[in-house]
Amino acid sequence: MALITLRKNDQIMMSLVHYFVTKENYTPINVQGVKDEIWLENLEGPYRVIRISCNTIINEEQYKFEMFKMHHILRQIKKKTLSFKVNALNICLDISGKVALNKEYNIESIKVESIKDVKKNDELISIFPGLKDSLIEAKDNLDLIVNVTNDINEKTEKENKRFAKVFSPKKIIITNLIIVICCVVFALMYIFGNGSTDLNTLITFGANLDTLVRQGEVWRLITCAFLHIGIIHLFVNMYSLFIIGSQVETFMGKWKFLAVYLISALSGSLLSIVMHANVVSAGASGALFGLMGALLYFGYHYRLYLNDVLRRQIIPVILINLFIGFSISGIDNAAHIGGLIGGYLVAMALGIEGKSNKKDMINGWIVLLLYIIFLSIVIFVK
């Protein structure tokens, strides 16, 4: 029977990787150009990045070069994840005792020669209490490999199922329903009124107007999101809703999507009244910006899966549309900004599948309610 022989450092590395992946929700990341080291990432963890290295370091020059490489890779991770700060834990498994491990900016290095060294490190145990009892210590190498492989595969399978649940194609219902409602209302304005560009018709069908809202017709804050002024306005917004709404409904589910749409419409309408007096406004663009705000929140939490989508697509689309709103007269950019803020906050309050915790959701509800209450006070209390 063939024997499997592992170096002592490899055994320690496997045990540490097993713990951080299965117990602390860290994910291995592919770092090009490295050898004998593993990089782990958890953007919600106490250390956002953990590097476990078997590289032999026998003097200060080698250690400084290792730190230089690590700083370079961390800069790449910060750029990819849109992070201002990424703190890292550098675990060195093969370093000379003559080398001083100085704590550098955002990087804490520790020396580990055995599993006992890990369990005796009080600072590390205080951050990861499970290290004391959850590290695998197999009697033979085959047993270690089998246990580590099986546990990591099981964790990976769960992650893949969660990923599939969030990103798998779904039947789009609410988005299509809103599009139909907007088109039907648009037609009704011509059947029972003087068309979509007539102010009296717009007001009759529920356009937003500060004086009427202050008189008690608060329903206009929502109904205006289903009205459009002219065929081009309708077409542009419905096409945008079809593209963006389908994504948000897929990622968040139909009822969360509906909540984002309606609350974003409300938020956009409120800020529009705060910023504009005696102006009739209508359109789904405030709610659409709310969907982009929700997509921004979602994309931030799933940015490791979406690669550069957040940085190269979502954020540029938002900024370009805001720029257009400021550059062209007749566009209610206050509604856009209000919808964007409302959509981001309601996504935070409702939570993202597999990513949000109760604390974030509670904070989201608190900030969202305070935001809406503040705008309401500005409008209704004089």
Amino acid at 307: N
Q: Please determine, for residue 246, whether its predicted confidence score (pLDDT) is greater than 80.
A: yes
* CATH (one of 2.70.98.40, 2.60.40.10, 1.10.3720.10, 1.20.1540.10) for 174-380: 1.20.1540.10
pLDDT value of position 307: 63
- Which range, of 28-37, 131-140, 251-260, averages the lowest pLDDT? 131-140
How do residues 277-307 score in pLDDT, each as one tens digit?
A: 888 999 999 999 999 999 989 888 887 666 6
Residues annotated as catalytic are 285, 336
Integer Cα distance of 179 and 322 in angstroms = 23
Angstrom CA distances, 298 to 125, 301, 303, 314, 318, stand at 32, 5, 8, 11, 14
CB 347, CB 267: distance < 8 Å: no
What does the mean pLDDT of the chain come to?
86
Phi then psi for 274, rounded to 5 degrees?
-60, -40
% of the chain surpassing 70 pLDDT: 93
Most confidently modeled range among 13-17, 27-31, 261-265, 331-335: 261-265
- Residue 51 pairs with which residues in a beta bridge? 39, 90
CB-hemisphere CA count at 13 Å for 281? 32
pLDDT value of position 347: 95
pLDDT value of position 66: 86
Integer Cα distance of 315 and 298 in angstroms = 12
pLDDT value of position 3: 47
CA dihedral 301, 302, 308, 313 (to 10 degrees): -80
pLDDT value of position 2: 45
Domain extents in the chain: 8-167, 174-380
Q: Which secondary structure element, helix H or strand E, spans residue 228, and what is its range? A: none
pLDDT value of position 85: 81
Integer Cα distance of 290 and 110 in angstroms = 45
Amino acid at 158: K
How do residues 45-91 score in pLDDT, each as one tens digit?
A: 889 899 988 888 888 888 888 888 888 888 888 877 777 788 899 98
Q: What is the pTM of this model?
A: 0.79
How do residues 318-332 score in pLDDT, each as one tens digit?
A: 888 888 777 777 788
